[in-house]
Structure 1
Amino acid sequence: MANRYWCGECSFKTPWLDTSEGLRRQIEHYARKHPGIAPGGQIETRRRGPGARSACLLLAAAALVLLTVVATWRR
Structure 2
Amino acid sequence: MAREHDTVLRVSYPTERRARVIADALTPEVGEIDDARSATTVARDGDTVRVRVGADDLTALRAGINSWSRLIEVAEQLSE
Regarding TM over 0.5, the answer is no
Greater strand fraction, Structure 1 or Structure 2 = 2
Greater helix fraction, Structure 1 or Structure 2 = 1
Bigger relative contact order (CA 8 A; separation at least 6): 2
Q: TM-score range by the shorter chain?
A: 0.3 to 0.5
TM-score (norm 1): 0.38
TM-score (norm 2): 0.36
Max radius of gyration: which structure? Answer: 1
